Amino acid sequence: MIQMAVNIFCAVLIIFSKERPDTFIATAVHWWIDRSADAIRILLFFEPWPATEETEKIVEGMQIYRHVLAVSLLIALCSIMASRPYFPDWSAILSAKLKAAGYSNAKYAELALTGYRRMVITVAAITFLALFGHPYDKASIENFYSSELTILRLPLLIGIASAFVLLAITFRRVVKNCRLPGSGSFPDDGFN
């Protein structure tokens, strides 16, 4: 929740800087975008530039979009890593609730495996939407990159995706602790 609030705050600062270009915040945001543009381009190498002749407005919109995407991803990653100490407690709470609901060990492990799979699919879909869910036709590109809703969309999508990542890790731990036959073995990657 804090992670999403920080992401949205950063996006609102950028929107404010677009609306009031003569303020200190706008100057700071544009300085940050100019100085880190090359690093963002390298970091988001997989994020394609739409195939069109870019006007100055489109290029500025793309730079802002990519910066919000990069900041949102970095904040989400930090949030997930900071949550690691809570993973055992969350999986214990989920296991206790499933057992309290009267499910057998095999049934609640099956439910946890289904939850895990759904969370992974959802994270993949949201990530695809955040990274590649923008137009490629010339008529829509300028509208898309100049819209404030586009800037606010990214922190919301990344925040939702990081919440689903935390849920997937929790479900995964429950499944791993149940040792459900046929669930596959999860490698020991530090999230256990």
pLDDT digit string (tens) for 44-80?
777 766 555 667 777 777 888 888 888 888 888 999 9
**8 A C-beta contact, residue 178 and residue 109:** yes
Q: How far apart are CA 26 and CA 82, in angstroms?
A: 31
- Would you say residue 113 lies in a domain? yes
- Would you say residue 105 lies in a domain? yes
What's the structural domain count of the chain? 1
- Would you say residue 186 lies in a domain? no
Any idea which residue has 């990344």 for tokens?
158
DSSP 185: -
Query: What integer pLDDT is reported at residue 43 of this predicted model?
Result: 80
Query: What integer pLDDT is reported at residue 36 of this predicted model?
Result: 82
Neighbours of 17 (CB within 10 A): 21
Domain that holds residue 116: 2-178
Q: Which amino acid is at 27?
A: T
Neighbours of 23 (CB within 10 A): 12
Q: What is the mean pLDDT of residues 154-165?
A: 89
- Would you say residue 183 lies in a domain? no
pLDDT digit string (tens) for 96-153?
888 888 877 778 888 888 999 999 999 999 988 887 777 777 677 777 877 778 888 8
- Would you say residue 189 lies in a domain? no
Residues 6+ apart with CB under 8 A from 39: none
pTM of the model as a whole = 0.77
- Would you say residue 185 lies in a domain? no
pLDDT digit string (tens) for 12-31?
877 777 778 788 888 888 88
